Amino acid sequence: MSLTRRTWLLVPVLAALAACANSPSSSFSAASVAAPTDVVAPAKKPPKLIVFMVVDGLPIRQVLGYRDQLQPDGFKRFLDRGAWFANAYYGHGYTVTAAGHSVMLSGAYPQRSGIVANEWRDPATGAPQYNTADPRYQYIGNKTEPLAGTSPENYKVETVGDVLRTLQPGSKVIGVSGKDRGAILPSGHKGTAYMFMGSTGQFASSTYYMQQHPAWVDAFNAAKPADQFFGKTWAPMLPESAYARSVPDGQPWQSNTGNGNRLPAVLGAGMDGPGPRFYGNILPSPFGDELTLAFARAAVEGEQLGSDDQTDILSVSLSSHDYVNHAFGPESRLSHDHFLHLDRYLQGWFQYLDARVGRDNYIAVLTADHGFTDTPEWAKTQGRDAGRIVPAQAVGFVNAGLAKHFGEGRWVVGMSGTGMIFDEALIKAKGLQADDVYAAAKALVEQVDGVRVAFTRAQLAGDDTATPYLAQMRKSWYPGIAAPLQVVVKEGWMFGSRLMGTTHGSPYENDTHVPLLTWGPNWVGQGRVEQRVEIADLAPTLSKLLGIPAPRQAQGKPLPLPVQAR
């Protein structure tokens, strides 16, 4: 199909959709797209395939810190021959996996998408809600836990892929990840998600998308590719001297993921054979990403992605780096080495795509869903202020103070993310105004060692942009889903009761500053861009390159991509 024909075909479709959107009976669905005036015809023929890569939990400082040790065609493909943004940040304050994945291809912050956390508690009832859980659907051929991710029902916005498939139903949108949320959210409402099953070593979709897997998925799973890693050794890629910039293995604050906390590590050591415990231990190793990329290859071939002029989107979220960083810290030799393994896998992956799809036929984008905070115990050895806040102790302190103000009672019933939720029935029974209780709790929690500031519902619902971190936390807050009191820890601090491992989730640079790398010789120039941008800018950028409207809830703007090599 020529570009001219393609562009003209979009106009009547968009007009019809706009008419539907204005119908009184219309409600939100993934089919709702922006008005036809938002269409921007691409400068040249759109790509056959967009390859959207996510490395879960990868801060930009690791990419640049280990640049001298990278393969020529992995991350360096972007850094040396693509366009990349040195100052790309998340604009929301609670930086966790689900929230990050919800922003990338929608351009909408959690304040619009409703994906405020990986899991939250209903502020009114305290009931747990997982971000992609939907009890109406089940995994295909695998056991479905009560809070397993099975659909995008809770995702209140559309994605680039949703708009594309509305306008061009022949386009395919596929999401693959080691995590359910890493597959489901980038796939949107109209794509298809496949996620790793830690109990069986398979990849599976859910009945939201289909009732039976395609033959290519069944063939992949029947070959039991995860079993090849049983007894395999995770060995360092480079000589010991190459890791001098990283913290050695076996530190007391490093967790045991099931594979130990030292290299070399043998997967499945002490086990009789592959089984649920072994499969679960694949993800916190380089082999989790190797397996995910193998499934992504099967998807390219099984779905014939990038084989015609109707643009397809393949999202691949690689989860293992997040598990490694949580357990050992981004400062560790294990994280350093995992990153080098990942780089080698990416080199093979892109070379495969060059041969299969054609290097002139696809655009590749790579980013992360969040960065990482250094392990507090290690940070302290470097003279930094860092520590852990035990959630139960913080809640107990606030409740004791509220009891003095308002009388006995369990006023704060627990934490939801880094927010506090309250016994709303107790507040009502005492004849109190909820905002008065929240304000008193704010004053109390700000006295807890390690807390920087807290924001009440009234502040989050307001429009103050001058108070530090309030605008970021407002972008993470959705009324009725997020807790009415949001707590921001000091930089280097975190909530947690275990004195091991580390996390992310703050509005600080360690957690918000991530890679944003693009490559596609026919569409993207070369060079390092210094201008500050946000990950929310990705969705309108890809929409512009495809000549389609941006997702209607998008808050970002097109990136300043270089038009020629610098």
Q: Collapse the DSSP code of 486 into the 3-class scheme (helix H, G, I; strand E, B; otherwise coil) and give the result.
A: strand
Instruction: Give the Cα-Cα-Cα angle 244, 247, 253 (nearest 5 degrees).
Output: 170
| Mean of pLDDT over the chain | 93
Task: Print burial letters for 239-257: b (CB count within 10 Å at least 16), e (below 16).
Answer: eeebbeebbebebebbbeb
Q: Collapse the DSSP code of 5 into the 3-class scheme (helix H, G, I; strand E, B; otherwise coil) and give the result.
A: helix
Fold of 387-495: Gyrase A; domain 2 (3.30.1360)
Q: Cite the annotated binding site for substrate by residue number.
A: 118, 179-181
Rounded CA-CA distance 159/139 in Å is 23
Residue 31 has pLDDT above 60, yes or no: no
Rounded CA-CA distance 216/317 in Å is 20
pLDDT at 44: 75
Instruction: Give the Cα-Cα-Cα angle 416, 420, 424 (nearest 5 degrees).
Output: 105
pLDDT in tens, 316-333: 999 999 999 999 999 999
> Beta strands 387-389 and 493-495: pairing type?
parallel
Q: Cite the annotated binding site by residue number.
A: 118, 179-181
Residues 96/104, Cβ–Cβ less than 8 Å: no
Residues 188/158, Cβ–Cβ less than 8 Å: yes
pLDDT band of 43, cuts 50, 70, 90: low
pLDDT at 246: 99
Q: Collapse the DSSP code of 488 into the 3-class scheme (helix H, G, I; strand E, B; otherwise coil) and give the result.
A: strand
Residue 21 has pLDDT above 70, yes or no: no
CA distances from 241 to 70, 107, 244, 248, 324 (A): 16, 42, 6, 11, 21
Backbone angles phi, psi at 6, to 5 degrees: -60, -45
Catalytic positions are: 97
83-85, strands of its sheet edge to edge = 203-204, 192-196, 173-177, 312-318, 49-55, 362-367, 516-519, 83-85, 527-529
Which sequence spans correspond to the domains of the chain?
3-119+128-371+513-525+532-546, 387-495
Place of tokens 């080098």: 340
Rounded CA-CA distance 157/522 in Å is 30
Backbone angles phi, psi at 310, to 5 degrees: -95, 110
Residue 16 has pLDDT above 80, yes or no: no
Q: Report the interhelical angle of 160-167 vs 3-21 (nearest 10°).
A: 100
Would you give the distance in Å from CA 522 to the centre of its chain? 28
Q: How far apart are the first and last CA of the chain?
A: 33
Rounded CA-CA distance 7/42 in Å is 9
pLDDT in tens, 59-87: 999 999 999 999 999 999 999 999 999 99
Helix (H) or strand (E) holding 389: strand 387-389
Residue 538 has pLDDT above 70, yes or no: yes
Among the listed residues 58, 7, 10, 39, the one whose alpha carbon sits nearest the alpha carbon of residue 346: 58
pLDDT in tens, 224-264: 999 999 999 999 999 999 999 999 999 999 999 999 999 99
Q: Which of 105-109, 462-466, 481-485 comes out lowest in average pLDDT? A: 462-466
pLDDT band of 370, cuts 50, 70, 90: very high
pTM attached to this predicted model? 0.93
Handedness of CA 462, 464, 468, 473 (dihedral sign): positive
Residue 293 has pLDDT above 70, yes or no: yes
Pick the CATH number of 3-119+128-371+513-525+532-546 from 3.40.720.10, 3.40.1110.10, 3.40.640.10, 3.10.180.10: 3.40.720.10
Backbone angles phi, psi at 211, to 5 degrees: -100, -20
Residue 20 has pLDDT above 50, yes or no: no
pLDDT at 29: 43
Helix (H) or strand (E) holding 416: strand 412-416
DSSP string, 91-155: -SSS--HHHHHHHHTT---HHHH---SSEEE-TTT--EEETTB-TT--BSSS---TT-B--STT-
Rounded CA-CA distance 318/310 in Å is 26
User: How is residue 384 written in tokens?
Assistant: 């930094």
pLDDT in tens, 472-524: 999 999 999 999 999 999 999 999 998 899 999 999 999 999 999 999 999 99
